[in-house]
Chain A
Amino acid sequence: MSGPNAAVGERLAQDYAAGFVTDIESETLPPGLNEATVRFISGKKSEPAWLLAWRLQALARWRKMTAPQWAHVTFPPIDFDAISYYSAPKQGPKSLDEVDPELLRTYEKLGIPLHERAALAGVETPQVAVDAVFDSVSVVTTFKEKLREAGVIFCPIAEAVRECPELVQKYLGSVVPQSDNFYAALNSATFSDGSFVYVPKHTRCPMELSTYFRINAANTGQFERTLIIADEGSYVSYLEGCTAPMRDENQLHAAVVELVALDDAEIKYSTVQNWYPGDEQGRGGIYNFVTKRGACLGARSKISWTQVETGSAITWKYPSVVLRGDGSVGEFHSVALTNNRQQADTGTKMLHIGRDTKSTIVSKGISAGRSQNAYRGRVLMNPGASGARNYTQCDSLLIGDECGAHTFPHIESRTPEAIVEHEASTSKVSDEHLFLCAQRGIDAEKAVSMIVNGFCKEVFRELPMEFAVEAGKLLEVSLEGAVG
């Protein structure tokens, strides 16, 4: 390549550190999706009849639906009968001591502190309770006892179905209905595990809660389901991280996350998504088709989504907030970075229903290589939403001249008493910027990292400290080779 941005355009192989495969004995369902598949999954979890019926209903709905075509992404049609819907490590663990050591080594490699002892020993590190989901099942949840003292329930969702069925039955599908969209329906029929959180009234969850998702098995989809309920006046901060091995074929990840905040409750949900993005030519990588939505049911409740999206071949994801309670607050802070042949279509929906509801959207898209990066947002002010306000800021940064940035904001105000603001900008890292930095002794890698970090500063500030550091490093690694 030549031309004015030759230095920026040149790129090398990207280094994906989490790309290893764990050699572990697992029980994997043969590919295919039908009623028997759903019954098998439900049976594996010894689920009650209502949940099986719920799943079967979702399957019936899914069969009548078609995959959404409106996103600014292209990929060959997915053969849903070629995917295995269940894979679990054979050795079912009861406690940390029984966990397959190979699995522990996997999480160690990923830098996830599963050993409670290690975390407890580190006086300076804040305590983080971890639920680890390996392929289709949750393998271990830490700090359960400590959380139980505070009355917080944090466990695999399969366990929550057994332990507190009334909460699960009440809220499962209440925020993201089965027929919300094609992938949500698929998830409702086939979800195999995920995390469940309940924070009781007037309780501040004593530590950060965290789930790490790992897809390991080949030809497997991961369909986890997360449900978080913050009761009146409670607070919880939840972190989610994800990785997958490097494989030549594409793998599907279709998760559903539902958040419920009652009166005066606050949920802070942070994601660092680093699914395998595929190689430079666009071979392999995860299809990340995820539905995330929070309902601010209660007055003065608050839900904030913060996401740093660096992985996946294709990202299709719109963490949203339904602002039902009067005076409730929704926030969306996003950094989405695409490199090589990655495609991202991500953004949010803020649906203002209650009075004096407020939402803030800050979206930072970074495109490098030959990637395509789209922000898609919807802000709706319902007739009853008097005094509602939205502020949207949507910035794109282009690195090189073969990538694309797109913005699709949809704003719909049905009340004259609401205020909606939208600001957008596009900037570019050019050879001129790199030469300016080089002339001051700063090499290209450092310069790009400095510019990108500056660009994302506003969003990184929203992340819990240890995640912010991780996110900064992740961007650096993901951009490796983006400049020559």
Chain B
Amino acid sequence: MLRIENLHANAGDEPILRGVNLVVRPGEVHALMGPNGSGKSTLANVIAGRPGYDVTAGSVSLDGVDLLALPPEERAQQGVFMAFQYPIEIPGVSNMEFLKAALDSRNAAQGRPELSAVQFLKLARAAAERLGLGPEFGKRGVNEGFSGGEKKRNEILQMLLLEPRLALLDETDSGLDIDSLGTVAAGVNAFAGEDNAIVLVTHYARLLEHIVPDHVHVLVAGRIARSGDKSFALEIEAKGYGWLTAPA
């Protein structure tokens, strides 16, 4: 369903992605690893359409739809979701209000009926509870005064409610203590299904003990240097990235 071909992208004038090829099928979990600056986060951002990156060559499509031709909000409405590495605050806009607006936009774009306030609250509260976010959570501003762990859990909550086709999790494990990691991983595992796919961007194999990937890719200098299965992640954990070089 996600097909990336020969993707080249710059951040400013600097080339970051230098020919990425990747195919993700429904029901799959992919882990994207690699040293700092190898382009992992850039790849996720380019798929989601964050401003500041220029795609210089290649293509990205989701279910046959050319994502690169769409503004970021339409990519989201097509089912692309990105859990941010550093979720920012939106003061004054409550979590519930934000979630409802997001859900309404998706439903409108996909021709689904709008949820009533009651239906929505029921859904949102149940999901929040599952992630250990208390009842005051809904009234608080988006990420306002949240701890690092709460922010990451909030990202997963948004994913659970929006039910994307493709979830890009950008270092969702960073800054989490072991309990929060367990909660977040349980949320992701509950989401994973036959109709969607997950791409995890991570530094550490630790996360992969909780969320088991079908494929592990290592990015080096803007290209996928090598791919493997779950055991490949353990090999990297033991040997580091130094022995892997970018393909010619």
Q: Are B92 and A435 in contact (CB under 8 A)?
A: no
Residues from 13 to 65 in A contacting B, C-beta threshold 8 Å: none
Closest to A452 in B: B92
A431 interface residue (CB < 8 Å to B): yes
B191 to chain A, nearest CB (A): 16
Cross-chain contact of B51 among A7, A437, A454, A455 (Cβ < 8 A)? A7
A435–B51 contact, CB under 8 A?
Answer: yes
Q: Which residues of chain A come closer than 8 Å to B87, judged between CB atoms?
A: 436
Q: Which residues of B contact A451 (CB under 8 A)?
A: 90, 92-93
A439 to B81 CA separation, bound complex (whole angstroms) = 7
Which chain B residue lies CB-closest to A449? Answer: B101
User: Which chain A residues numbered 416 to 430 have a C-beta less than 8 Å away from chain B?
Assistant: 427
Quick one: closest A residue to B86, CB to CB? A432
B98/A433 in contact, CB under 8 A: no
Q: Are A433 and B90 in contact (CB under 8 A)?
A: yes
Q: Select B94's contact among A436, A439, A440, A454, beta carbons within 8 Å.
A: A454
The answer to the question of A457 belonging to the interface, with a C-beta cut-off of 8 Å to chain B, is yes
What residues on B are CB-neighbors of A444 within 8 Å? 73
A450, B98: Cβ atoms under 8 Å?
A: yes
Tell me the minimal C-beta distance from B232 to chain A in angstroms: 30
Q: Assess whether A443 is interfacial by the CB under 8 Å rule.
A: yes
A residues less than 8 Å from B73 (CB atoms): 437-439, 441-444
| CB of A6 closer than 8 Å to a CB of B | yes
Residue from A7, A433, A441, A442 having most chain B Cβ neighbours under 10 A: A441
The answer to whether A454 touches B50, judged by C-beta atoms less than 8 angstroms apart, is: no
- Take A436-B90, A441-B105, A441-B109 as given contacts and tell me if A450 and B72 are in contact as well, using a CB distance cutoff of 8 Å: no
Decide if A283 is an interface residue (CB 8 Å cutoff).
no
Does any Cβ of A come within 8 Å of B11's Cβ? Answer: no
0/1 string, B73-97, CB within 8 A of A gives 1: 1001100011010011011111001
Alpha-carbon separation in the docked complex, A432 to B92 (Å) = 16
Q: For residue A450, which residues in chain B have a CB less than 8 angstroms away from its CB?
A: 93, 97-98, 101
Residues A436 and B84 in contact in the complex (CB < 8 Å), given A7-B51, A450-B98: yes
Contact A454 B141 (CB under 8 A): yes
Determine the chain B residues whose CB is within 8 A of the CB of A4 once the complex forms.
52
A110-156 residues at the B interface, CB under 8 angstroms: none
Q: Which residue of A lies closest to B79 (CB)?
A: A441
Measured in the bound complex, the distance between the Cα atoms of B162 and A451 in whole Å is 21
Contacts of A446 in B (CB 8 A): 101, 105
* Alpha-carbon separation in the docked complex, A50 to B51 (Å): 68
What residues of chain A lie closer than 8 Å to B93, measured between beta carbons? 450-451, 454
Q: Are A442 and B105 in contact (CB under 8 A)?
A: yes
Closest residue of chain A to B76, judged by CB?
A441
Q: Does B172 contact A (CB under 8 A)?
A: no
Contact A438 B92 (CB under 8 A): no
How does the 8 Å CB contact mask read for B46-57 relative to A, with 1 for contact and 0 for none? 001111100000
A427 and B72 form a contact (CB under 8 A): no
CA distance A451 to B141 in the complex (A): 10
Can you report 7 residue pairs joining A to B where beta carbons are below 8 Å apart?
A432-B88, A433-B88, A438-B72, A439-B50, A440-B98, A441-B106, A446-B101
New contact pairs (13) apart from A438-B72, A450-B93, CB-CB < 8 Å: A6-B51, A7-B51, A438-B73, A439-B49, A439-B72, A440-B102, A441-B73, A441-B106, A450-B97, A454-B92, A454-B141, A455-B91, A455-B92
Nearest first, the 7 closest Cβ-Cβ pairs linking A and B are A454-B92, A441-B105, A440-B102, A438-B72, A454-B93, A441-B76, A438-B73
Binding site for B on A (CB under 8 A): 4, 6-7, 427, 431-433, 435-444, 446, 450-451, 454-455, 457
